[in-house]
Chains A and B, each alone.
Chain A
């Protein structure tokens, strides 16, 4: 019986394909661990809480409510969105919250695992995957609430609703890729996490979350180029049964995410020993 042999030395393997292959095979071999970690976190989260799942969608719901009130009371004048405004606002804040959660997920999962990272050698990719599982779980709950909105406000069923999960996958993919790329830096410096949540607050207003893209002006240019715009708009179009206008940009962003995901995984794999060293030294 040949034993598996491992070598640890200072020189890193720089063959990206080889590293990516190792990363992917670790993801596959650690699928049980990833599921177990996600299950653990979800169970623990809801066992110590009465309202449980409620907290998953209260933030986007509250933001949407604020805007619904602002709009219906005439405090702000928003251009017509073509669909009932509550559906527009809530679908926007909801997709937005999924994207924000996805960006934060890799860093949060890795940070929460500090205790085991510095003690046990296990496939670290499982942390990322468990983060995705948790995102899928929370997003599923959010989408159910959204469906209630869709039917209550008379938008009704469209066959495109069936494609919404795909769009949400793209949203999670996009967020996770961004999150994965900043995780190594974010683990070393807390500033990164703060900076992200701070700038995401502003970015929301440069994305058609609670209002549509204006007809002209600087804001129009920014909002049209913003890579999150096609994700929000396409998902919303699929929900309400409109023709997805930004589908080309949406597909390009999604496809671009794939090589970036590969780079992110490789970078993460190279970074973990360095981070463990700095955290536990």
Chain B
């Protein structure tokens, strides 16, 4: 058993692949490769005009029970690498050795025929994935149950919603029992309930196979992967067992272009924005350590016809999800508008884990009614006023906020 656990299932040595930028030229090279292919084409392959290396000199090994996160921006070569691992295209240099059954969750429901019913498509798709008729007949009830669309299973697939197609596609693919599993961002679709179901199924498989996971969701990578590769323009930028480091490098390498709109109906000007005593421009990037305080100060004039207002600082993570909020209402309650320049000072504890976060700024008309705050007009709102990187978090985890609860454990 131990022997089996340590099996190297995927071994990639010096893998390279080139592509052509121009279609006509590409087709012509295709013809040449066809005829060279017949003779074995053992020559060293150099770049021909209009070609580029989509992958260059990739090396890694993966054992059973390990999960390799493959990250990189669009066009870094992730999908190309998956296609080679899946045996769809041949490398131009180097070698890939794969042991065992390969299962790929690349595009769910590929080959569904729209005219045929869901049930008929289970047979087709199952056959394409390599199941025998008996296997499908034994599993069909399980597949229909997993997909949760029994009611519509005898309806033509063309009337399915895209979510239903994905459900059916995953339900079929989930029946595979591979040794090597390749997952390409298929989990981004479907509703939350189903996504959790998919993740659970993949976690079940994780222990039994070697998994390669492509994802743009760094929390997901941090949660699932045991090691990872950061690809940049076809080259290995980082290959590591330290997933925290990998995620950090990803953020450093790839500038985000999250530009949220400013909502500013009253033309408020934010003046003298300071962080930790230094003047900071809008959209600037800060580097912070976990546990530090973020000391903010700024000034503005509230519009004259507003009675009371409050200041909110929402914090958004890399996936554009709000993870924390701090508000002047917490300790000050309503602030009365005196139509003069006000100066705001605050101290936000940096309880965040490693990663990239955005701090937003919202100024909002607020009133009180029977001990409940009521929100009025938005006076100023920008979701990403500044951004900051957090480093040196004591734990690498996919959870964005790490609270200190002053544990006491007695012996």
Contact = CB atoms under 8 A, between A and B. Distances in A.
Contacts of B87: 6, 8, 121, 273
Contacts of A14: 38-40
B25 to A, nearest CB: 10
A20 to B, nearest CB: 14
A5 B128 contact: no
Nearest to B116: A44
A86 to B, nearest CB: 36
Contacts of A10: 41, 45, 90-94
A119 B106 contact: yes
Interface stretch (B97-105, B259-267, B377-385): B97-105
Contacts, number: 147
Contacts of B96: 7-9
B113 interface: yes
A61 interface: no
Contacts of A117: 88
A266 B13 CA distance: 27
Nearest to A40: B124
A145 B84 CA distance: 49
B5 interface: no
A7 B111 contact: no
A120 interface: yes
Contacts of A141: none
Contact of A274 (B34, B116, B128): B34
A5 B39 contact: no
B17 to A, nearest CB: 8
Interface string A4-42: 111111111110000000000000000011001100100
18 contacts: A3-B100, A3-B179, A7-B97, A8-B87, A8-B90, A12-B41, A32-B127, A32-B133, A33-B128, A37-B127, A44-B116, A119-B107, A119-B110, A270-B34, A274-B34, A278-B29, A280-B88, A281-B20
Interface of B: 7, 9, 19-20, 26-27, 29-31, 33-34, 37-42, 45, 83-102, 104, 106-107, 110-111, 113, 115-116, 120, 123-124, 127-130, 132-133, 179
Interface of A: 3-14, 32-33, 36-37, 40, 43-44, 47-48, 113, 115-122, 184-185, 188-189, 267, 270-271, 273-278, 280-281
